[in-house]
Amino acid sequence: MSHIDAEMKKYILSDKEKIEKIIQATEISRSELARRIGVSYKTVYRWIEKGVKPHQSQSRDIDQIFKEHIDLRETIMSFKKNTKKPLQILKSDFKLKEKFLLEMTYHSNAIEGNRMTLKETAQVLEGKKVKGKEMFEMFEAINHKNALLFLFDSINADFKIDKNYILKLHEIVMYNFNDTLPGKYRTGHINLINTDIKLPSAQDVPLRMGKLIKNINNYGKDPIEKIAYDHYNFEAIHPFFDGNGRVGRLIIITQLLSKGFPPAIVQIGDRYNYYMALGKADLGNYNNIVQMLCDSIMKCILLLGL
C-alpha cells in the first residue's frame, strides 16, 4: 500500500466510523440517530458494539446524516497542498490516464443507465464488440472516452471554461445521437423524474447558461463549494436534450484539474446519494452536494493512487 493509499484510507470511513464521528461531533445521541434512520436503539448498538453492518438503505441514511454534519473540505484542501499537481500526473502517466479514462467512463455512463460492466466498457474502449449490449451503449462509452481525451488536450492550469468548450464536450458525448442536437442547446422542453423543480424554457437556456459561464471561472475562497454549486446550477438548467449529467461531471473534472485538485468520480454505487444531494440543493441546501463532491474526490484519489 502506498503512502497516499494509507493516508486516504483514514478518510474512507466505514458505517461504524461515520456513526461514531456523528455522535462525537454533534449532539445527536444513539437514540436520536436510531429515530432518524427508523431503527431501534438496539440496532444502532449492534452496529457500533457488535460489528453488525447496516443494510444498504440504512447505510445510505447514515451517509446522508454524516455529510450533513461532518465537513470534508478541510481534508481535500490539506491533501491538495501536500500532493503533486494531478493534471500533470495524469497527462504524463499513460497507464494511470487510461485507468482514469476507463473508470470515469464506466461510472458516469452507468449513472445514466448504461448496462455495460467495467470489464465490458474496457473491451469497447479497446475496440472490441460486446455481445448482448446495444450499439448505442457502446457508442456512449467511446464518446465519453473521446470527450475525456479532448478535455486533457484542452485544459491546463487555470484553464478558462467558455461556451464553445461546453458545447464541444456535448458534441463529442452525443456523437451519433443526432436527435439530441449534439453541441447545441435544447430547443424544446424536457421533464425530469423525481423532482418538482421546473426547468427553464428553451428560450431561457442561453441566458441562464450565459450567466453561469460568465461566473464559472471565479472560484473565490472556497473553490470546492463553488464547483459543487456550479454543478448543481448546470444540472438545474439542463441545457441539452440529453447528456447533461455526463457533460456536467466532465465540467467538474475540468474545474478540479485546472485548479490543482484531484479529479472526482461519482461512482455508480453512490448514484442514490448523488441524486439526493442534487434534490436537497433544489430546496436550497447545498451542503450535501459539497460533501458529495469531497467524497467523490477522496474515492478517486484512492482508486488511482494519485
Q: At 58, which CATH number?
A: 1.10.260
What confidence score (pLDDT) does residue 302 get?
85
Q: Does 175 share its domain with 287?
A: yes
Q: State the average pLDDT over residues 39-68.
A: 91
Q: Does 106 share its domain with 56?
A: no
What confidence score (pLDDT) does residue 14 get?
85
Q: Does 176 share its domain with 217?
A: yes
Q: Does 101 share its domain with 237?
A: yes
Between the CA of residue 62 and those of 14, 19, 66, 299, what are the distances in Å? 10, 7, 6, 18
Residues 52-66: pLDDT tens digits? 999 989 998 998 888
Which of the 8 DSSP states describes residue 270?
Answer: G
The CATH number covering residue 293 comes to: 1.10.3290.10
What confidence score (pLDDT) does residue 140 get?
97
What confidence score (pLDDT) does residue 102 get?
98
What confidence score (pLDDT) does residue 3 get?
47
- Terminal-residue alpha carbon distance, the chain: 12
Q: State the average pLDDT over residues 160-174.
A: 98
Write out the three cell numbers for 229: 454549486
Q: What is the mean pLDDT of the chain?
A: 91
Q: Does 206 share its domain with 279?
A: yes
At residue 81 the predicted structure's pLDDT band, cuts being 50, 70 and 90, is confident
At residue 1 the predicted structure's pLDDT band, cuts being 50, 70 and 90, is very low
- Helices 56-69 and 15-25 meet at what angle, rounded to 10? 30
Boundary-marking domain end, from 70, 95, 127: 70
What confidence score (pLDDT) does residue 60 get?
86
Is the predicted pLDDT of residue 196 greater than 80, yes or no? no
Residues 238-285: pLDDT tens digits? 999 999 999 999 999 999 999 999 999 999 999 988 999 999 999 999
Is the predicted pLDDT of residue 7 greater than 80, yes or no? no
Please give the torsion angle defined by the CA atoms of residues 105, 106, 107 and 113, in that order, rounded to the nearest 10 degrees: 110
Residues 119-147: pLDDT tens digits? 999 999 999 989 989 999 999 999 999 99
The better pLDDT of the pair 194, 216 is held by 216
Is the predicted pLDDT of residue 27 greater than 90, yes or no? no
Angle at 290 between CA 191 and CA 6, to 5 degrees: 130
Q: Does 120 share its domain with 223?
A: yes
Boundary-marking domain end, from 70, 86, 106: 70
Is the predicted pLDDT of residue 74 greater than 90, yes or no? no
Is the predicted pLDDT of residue 157 greater than 70, yes or no? yes
Q: Does 25 share its domain with 160?
A: no
Is the predicted pLDDT of residue 153 greater than 70, yes or no? yes
In the chain, the number of structural domains is 2
What confidence score (pLDDT) does residue 5 get?
52
What confidence score (pLDDT) does residue 9 get?
56
- Neighbouring C-alpha atoms within 13 Å toward the C-beta of 175: 14
Boundary-marking domain end, from 70, 103, 128: 70
The better pLDDT of the pair 187, 4 is held by 187
Q: Does 205 share its domain with 265?
A: yes
Q: Does 171 share its domain with 113?
A: yes
What confidence score (pLDDT) does residue 199 get?
93
Q: Maximum distance among all alpha carbons in the chain? A: 58
What confidence score (pLDDT) does residue 85 get?
87
Q: Does 94 share its domain with 54?
A: no
CB 256 within 8 A of CB 292: no
Q: Does 53 share its domain with 202?
A: no
Q: Does 122 share its domain with 34?
A: no
Is the predicted pLDDT of residue 297 greater than 60, yes or no? yes
Instruction: Print the domain residue range for 64.
Output: 1-70
What confidence score (pLDDT) does residue 12 get?
66
